Amino acid sequence: MLEISIEQLPLYSSVFEFEINQKLVDGFQKSFRTSSRQIPPTLGVRALTCMFELLNRLEVDWMKLLHVQQDFEYLDSLHLPCQVRSQAILERYRKRATSHWLNFTTNIYEVSSNNLLLRSHSTILIAETGGAE
């Protein structure tokens, strides 16, 4: 992957906008093989498209992925349907001898109110050469 200098940080993705509606929720719940119609806690993954845009821009080779840690913070309630926008920020980058550490924050806002609904933190470790296995 491309190396990043401290001066380049923070690095921002494009803004990504999409609708969260019952159809999207049902699609997730179908994939989890449940009959629940509740909003799944991991639905925010849909907003991580903007983080993947940054990762692609950095030419990350997914076969060299060593470690991922992901969390979601729930900051405000979400009512369906809801138009949201998200933007990912690469806040921290460290290059070690054999690996790249990347720390992203992705904020997800309700478009109409501008309320911050959800914040995602992603820690990704990519090997310099070779892969995880």
Binding positions for another protein, rule: CB under 8 A: 24, 27-28, 30-34, 36, 38-42, 45-46, 49, 52, 62-63, 67-74, 77, 131, 133
Measured CA angle at 92 (ends 86, 95), to 5 deg: 135
**H/E run at residue 28:** helix 22-31
Minimal distance, residue 90 CB to another protein, in Å: 19
Cβ atoms within 10 A of the Cβ of 76, count? 13
Minimal distance, residue 96 CB to another protein, in Å: 19
In whole angstroms, give the CA distance from residue 56 to residue 1: 9
In terms of CB distance, is 12 or 32 closer to another protein? 32
Minimal distance, residue 44 CB to another protein, in Å: 9
